[in-house]
Amino acid sequence: MNPLLKKVRVKLSEKQKHWVGNGFYVNGVLRPTKELYPLTSPFLLMDYAAPKLFASSSERRGVGEHPHRGFETVTFALQGEIEHRDSAGGGGIIAPGGVQWMTAGKGIIHDEYHSPSFSKAGGVFEMIQLWVNLPKAYKLSPAKYQGVTSEEFSVYELSKGSSLKIIAGDYHDRQGKFKTFSAIDIFQAKISKGESHNIEVKESMNTLAFIISGEGFIAEELVKEGEFVILESKGSLLEINSKSDMNILILSGQPIKEPFVAHGPFVMSTKDEIYEAILDYQSGSMGKILDGKNES
- Predicted local confidence at residue 55, as pLDDT: 98
- Predicted local confidence at residue 34, as pLDDT: 84
Distance CA 259, CA 70 (A): 13
Q: Please tell me what DSSP assigns to residue 143.
A: P
- Predicted local confidence at residue 261, as pLDDT: 96
State whether the Cα torsion 282-283-286-292 is positive or negative: positive
CB 145 within 8 A of CB 88: yes
State whether the Cα torsion 244-171-50-263 is positive or negative: positive
- Predicted local confidence at residue 286, as pLDDT: 95
What are the backbone angles phi and psi of residue 165, rounded to the nearest 5°? -90, 125
Residue 274 — left, alpha, or beta (φ > 0 → left; ψ -120 to 50 → alpha)? Answer: alpha
Give Dmax over CA atoms of the chain in angstroms: 59
Straight-line distance from the first to the last Cα atom of the chain, in angstroms, rounded to the nearest whole number:
55
Single out the residue of 112, 185, 177 nearest to residue 149, CA to CA.
177
Q: How far is CA 287 from the centre of its chain?
A: 25
- Predicted local confidence at residue 291, as pLDDT: 63
Report, as ranges of residue numbers, the positions in the chain whose pLDDT lies below 70: 1, 291-296
- Predicted local confidence at residue 1, as pLDDT: 67
For the entire predicted model, the pTM comes to 0.95
